[in-house]
């Protein structure tokens, strides 16, 4: 039988063991010892001896120091514009860049690199020769303010920004337009009972605006004056500017991914609850709502609310 084992007694240690070989004379333990004992000496591995390198003879001479590789000192760009440098900037610009094939910032960088000038000096010179000198009259100033007011009242945001559009339309330098608008706006704020409204006051403006949108009692253009009159602590212009902030440029959110339709509805529902509250949350609105909805960022909340506000204003029947 193939599975039969025989009871045997080891001839070395007299231990009883079982083996399929009826003539087995050694138990497994003694068999292993016997095999190891009879391994030929030639088969044993001889460890390879490694030669140790001789120790270097100590020398009394100090080691030679390697020559240091010092980088040449970088020369700072010229920060003072001399008449000669100004002439060279104009000359290079008119000969190589006057056609306008390269962006202005790149032109500044290339000329600054050629003459080793600070870029701002180059920009100042080119601005002087490219922008026409226009005397700022009271009429131009009034037109700039009027254009800006119309942009804010209508919510229109031209490509490139409102101030840049005014600059292009009136032929005024952009920085000059910025200064005109800033000074006029600050003067308008100073005429208000509350030149700098706090968060709670701005929240009240927002709540009243949405309440009037739902009631549909006034034209859209009349709402800022009605809200300012009702609240009493802000001017019409302050209400206009805050509503303008609430209806931001939608192009700024072009790269923000849209949440799922379910998440968008949750955001709008949370915004409705926000408007019912007596005060704004401690944290920002967008962060507060994003914390309530999984897998939604504050930026996505901002985008959804912007789209919602623009949609509601566009659908308002009384323009």
Q: Where are the domains of the chain?
A: 6-40, 83-130, 138-190, 199-314
Between CA 236 and CA 244, with CA 239 as vertex, the angle to 5 degrees is 125
pLDDT of residue 35: 55
pLDDT per residue rounded down to tens, the chain (319 residues): 457 788 888 888 888 888 888 888 888 888 877 754 544 444 444 455 555 555 655 555 655 555 556 666 778 888 888 989 989 998 898 888 877 678 888 989 999 999 999 999 998 888 877 765 567 899 999 999 999 999 999 999 998 899 989 988 998 888 889 999 999 999 999 999 999 999 999 999 999 999 999 999 999 999 999 999 999 999 999 999 999 999 999 999 999 999 999 999 999 999 999 999 999 999 899 999 999 999 999 999 999 999 999 999 999 998 7
Reported as half-sphere exposure (CB side, CA atoms, 13 A), residue 76 has a value of 3
C-beta of residue 271 within 8 angstroms of C-beta of residue 305: yes
Provide the Cα torsion 37, 39, 41, 47; round to 10°: -100
pLDDT of residue 2: 56
pLDDT of residue 259: 96
Read off the tokens for 24. Answer: 């087995």
Instruction: Decide: residue 37, CB within 10 A, 0-12 exposed, 13-18 middle, 19+ buried.
Output: exposed
Read off the tokens for 261. Answer: 């339709």
C-beta of residue 144 within 8 angstroms of C-beta of residue 180: yes
């Amino acid at each position: 039988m193939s599975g039969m084992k025989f009871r045997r007694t080891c001839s070395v240690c007299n231990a009883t063991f079982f083996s399929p070989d009826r003539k087995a004379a050694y138990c497994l333990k003694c068999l292993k010892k016997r095999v190891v004992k009879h391994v030929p000496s030639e088969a044993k591995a001889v460890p390879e001896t490694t030669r140790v390198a001789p120790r270097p003879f100590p020398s009394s001479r100090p080691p030679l120091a390697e020559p240091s590789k010092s980088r040449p000192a970088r020369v700072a760009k010229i920060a003072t514009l001399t008449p000669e440098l100004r002439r060279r900037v104009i000359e290079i610009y008119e000969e190589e860049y006057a056609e306008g094939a390269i962006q202005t910032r790149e032109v500044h960088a290339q000329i600054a690199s050629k003459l080793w000038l600070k870029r701002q000096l180059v920009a100042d010179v080119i601005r002087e020769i490219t922008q026409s000198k226009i005397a700022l009259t009271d009429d131009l100033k009034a037109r700039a303010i009027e254009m800006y007011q119309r942009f804010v009242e209508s919510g229109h945001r031209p490509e490139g920004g409102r101030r840049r559009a005014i600059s292009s339309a009136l032929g005024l330098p952009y920085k000059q337009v910025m200064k005109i608008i800033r000074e006029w706006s600050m003067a308008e704020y100073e005429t208000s009972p509350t030149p700098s409204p706090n968060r709670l006051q701005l929240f009240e403006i927002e709540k009243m605006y949405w309440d009037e949108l739902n009631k549909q009692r006034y034209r859209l253009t009349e709402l800022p004056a009605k809200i300012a009159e009702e609240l009493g602590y802000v001017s019409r212009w302050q209400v206009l500017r805050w509503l303008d902030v609430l209806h931001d440029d939608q192009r700024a959110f072009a790269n923000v991914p849209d949440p799922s339709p379910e998440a968008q509805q949750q955001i709008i529902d949370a915004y409705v609850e926000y408007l019912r509250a007596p005060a704004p949350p401690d944290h920002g609105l967008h962060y507060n709502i994003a914390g309530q909805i999984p897998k939604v960022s504050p930026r996505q909340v901002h985008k959804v609310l912007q789209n919602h506000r623009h949609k509601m204003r566009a659908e308002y029947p009384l323009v």
